[in-house]
Structure 1
Amino acid sequence: MGSTEVTFFPGDRRGGGEFSADTQTAGSVGLLIQVALPCALFSTTTTILQLRGGTNAEMAPQFDYTTEVFRPLLERFGATFDYKLLRRGYFPRGGGEVHIRVNPVRQLKPIKMIDGGKILRIWGWAFVAGTLPIKLASVMADSATVALQRAFKGVEINIEAYKEREEDAVGNGSGINIVAETTTGCILGASGLGKRDVRPEQVGKQAADDLISTVETGACVDPHAQDQMVVLMALADGISQVKVGPVTQHTETAIYIAKSLSEAKFNIIKQGPNSNIIECTGIGLLNPV
């Protein structure tokens, strides 16, 4: 607390292997993956991550977002990961568990995503767990569907509602995840978590409104994917370009850190009041595997 400076002395990259991390709370498993993934991609052998904590937590990507939105983006760079979801965990107890398998890459490819295209289809799922009734999931799914149908007439929309099995989740939780695919192959996501003082129809509608706002900017990635792309662009071999909406503070921070720790060069090209292209000349990190 109160620290104003960080000094980093990098050591030699080590090989893969098995690693475990447990937040012992509902701390986000998705954020643990963000921290470990770049290192695992450039290790010398396969890496297994055994992660415990919150799979669906506030102020962090839900694990569903990581697998359904972020992973397809990662695959554009020529990398991926396999996963096994053993158990979900929610606020405040946590207790979720996820296993991640990452094979190393020789080098990341640059990407070019500057045409958002048109919405091709939208799918998603609303869930409840523990003692919460499935009716809450149905209300979230229905309210999101209505809002999306108004915005995207003629587009296939399928949001299912379900209840987690007792053995597959720890504690009570509810939420919604929405994914949209465009005609140019862009994958956009939006999500929301149920709260005691927020009606389920509000949760569903807000998630839908967030997705609609992203689409209106013509972006190729949603606001939550922006900053997650920065480290990959910085490591890739060549010039990457990604069209986004307004640049978030998370993205500005990620760019600042990437530039501080590497020789990657970034440029924000303004396209309009709510549209930008993030351009990066990556360092082309080479893995001696």
Structure 2
Amino acid sequence: MIEIDGSRGEGGGQILRSALALSMCTGQAFTLTRIRAGRAKPGLMRQHLSCVNAAAEISSAQVEGAELNSQALQFTPGAVRAGSYAFNVGSAGSCTLVLQTVWPALMLAAGESRVQLKGGTHNPMAPPFHFLERSYAPLLRRLGAPVQLTLQRHGFYPAGGGEFEAVIGGAREALTPFDLNERGGTLEEYADCLAPALPSSIARRELNKLASLMGWPPEQLRNAGVRQNEGPGNALLATLAHQHVTEVFTEFGEKGVTAEAVATRLAQELRRYKSNDGALGPHLADQWVLPLALAVHLRRQPASYSCTELTPHALSNFEVVQRFLPVGIRTRPLGKGQQVQLTPA
């Protein structure tokens, strides 16, 4: 039984999600205590509980402590089964985080899985659907794990109501680690603005301001097609596609914040990334380590990647990965960034 202190490091829900994913992949049980202890509302919230319940369903796990506000959880997985599943967060909580919890285990299962998810698809503090589709999923395919993502309806906080499908192929024998230390040449750069049930002027102002700050011509701006009943909501996205990696950066509009301020925040993120040497941005650097570590472990081959920075979130994730897998994770400066090196123990 692996014992994990949920208050260590960054101390957020990622510790829970990574522990669930790795527990199912390795068959190792764990106990997690002091869950989100440093947060204003500690313990399991609805979207965290959705992750626990989804993990329990695909692996026939025995679970203790799976209830709202619980600060302790014991999870003992059974065999992971490929198949058709449907998970509904039941609120505007992120359903992309639920997918990332079950994705690693289903990609190691025998056979194809079809997962239908409902909830928030574009949430602050969670990977938006377009990040998974354009940035994360292509790397999984390159790793040897086939996946197809289809967005059926956008879902924003506080209404939720989003829906998408993920088709995940079994890839245990195909996973092959690779190095990702350079972005490669630029292929394209563009911005999307999602603003359902809001005045069209908001999207226009955000895109125009971003174009002004980045020096982008009109053909690099897109007012994405969304249905008005999918909001209200507002997300401004910028996609930077390179030869070896595509990064997606997102800023969310909110009451009291001007369209110009949203665009300015996004431009600042883009400039930080573009002025750095790392292949992966801070969020992708955090999320890429788990599937890569699984491939490194299964194939007994080392791999590395570079990133612009290592956040406390990422460092906490590294610690959880090493609790479950005999994989060493070391970091070192590399140009204007950091390199993460994974080695089978």
Q: TM-score, normalised by structure 1?
A: 0.87
What corresponds to 2:11 in structure 1? Answer: none
Q: Quick check: 1:188 aligned with 2:247?
A: yes
Q: Quick check: 1:213 aligned with 2:272?
A: yes
Question: Displacement of 1:163 after TM fit?
Answer: 5.1
Of 214, 217, 239, 1:148 maps to 214
Question: Displacement of 1:57 after TM fit?
Answer: 0.7
Which one has the bigger helix percentage?
2
For residues 108-162 of structure 1, the C-alpha deviation after alignment (integer angstroms, 9 at most, x for no partner) is 21121112345442012112102x1121111111111222228xxxx99712124
What corresponds to 1:48 in structure 2? Answer: 114
Aligned with 1:252: secondary structure? helix
For residues 84-109 of structure 1, the C-alpha deviation after alignment (integer angstroms, 9 at most, x for no partner) is 22211111111111111111112321
For residues 23-56 of structure 1, the C-alpha deviation after alignment (integer angstroms, 9 at most, x for no partner) is 1111112111211110110111211111110011
Q: TM-score, normalised by structure 2?
A: 0.74
Of 95, 98, 105, 2:161 maps to 95
Question: Displacement of 1:204 after TM fit?
Answer: 1.7
For residues 163-200 of structure 1, the C-alpha deviation after alignment (integer angstroms, 9 at most, x for no partner) is 5223xx53301111111123x42212211111011111
Q: Quick check: 1:278 aligned with 2:340?
A: yes
Question: Displacement of 1:79 after TM fit?
Answer: 1.6
Aligned with 1:83: secondary structure? strand
What corresponds to 1:286 in structure 2? Answer: none
Pairwise CA RMSD:
2.2
Q: Quick check: 1:259 aligned with 2:322?
A: yes
Aligned with 1:259: secondary structure? helix
What corresponds to 2:287 in structure 1? Answer: 228
What corresponds to 2:309 in structure 1? Answer: 246
What corresponds to 2:233 in structure 1? Answer: 173
- Over 3 Å counting, the alpha-carbon distance change for 1:156 and 1:113 in structure 2 is farther
Question: Displacement of 1:78 after TM fit?
Answer: 1.5
Q: Distance in 1 between matches of 2:250 and 2:160?
A: 19
For residues 238-282 of structure 1, the C-alpha deviation after alignment (integer angstroms, 9 at most, x for no partner) is 21111111211111111101100111111112225x511111125
Question: Displacement of 1:7 after TM fit?
Answer: 4.9
Letter in 2 for 1:231: L
Letter in 2 for 1:258: V
Q: Distance in 1 between matches of 2:271 and 2:175?
A: 31
Q: Distance in 2 between matches of 1:282 and 1:124?
A: 39
Give runs of ≥4 in structure 1 deviating > 6 Å: none
For residues 1-28 of structure 1, the C-alpha deviation after alignment (integer angstroms, 9 at most, x for no partner) is 993366553433x321111111111111
Q: Distance in 2 between matches of 1:235 and 1:162?
A: 36
What corresponds to 2:90 in structure 1? Answer: 24
For residues 39-85 of structure 1, the C-alpha deviation after alignment (integer angstroms, 9 at most, x for no partner) is 11011121111111001111111111110111122222122311222
Q: Quick check: 1:116 aligned with 2:179?
A: no
- Over 3 Å counting, the alpha-carbon distance change for 1:6 and 1:260 in structure 2 is farther
Q: Distance in 2 between matches of 1:77 and 1:156?
A: 35
Letter in 2 for 1:46: E
Aligned with 2:207: secondary structure? helix
Q: Quick check: 1:65 aligned with 2:131?
A: yes
Equivalent residue pairs, number: 273
Q: Distance in 1 between matches of 2:163 and 2:135?
A: 20
What corresponds to 2:226 in structure 1? Answer: 164
Q: Distance in 2 between matches of 1:110 and 1:157?
A: 36
Aligned with 1:61: secondary structure? coil
What corresponds to 1:129 in structure 2? Answer: 196
Letter in 2 for 1:278: V
- Over 3 Å counting, the alpha-carbon distance change for 1:156 and 1:36 in structure 2 is farther
Q: Which has the higher contact order (CA 8 A, sep 6+)?
A: 1
For residues 196-225 of structure 1, the C-alpha deviation after alignment (integer angstroms, 9 at most, x for no partner) is 111111112211221220121111111111
Q: Percent identity?
A: 22
- Over 3 Å counting, the alpha-carbon distance change for 1:270 and 1:175 in structure 2 is same
Kindly indicate whether the alpha-carbon contact (under 8 Å) linking 2:134 and 2:247 is maintained by their aligned counterparts in 1.
no
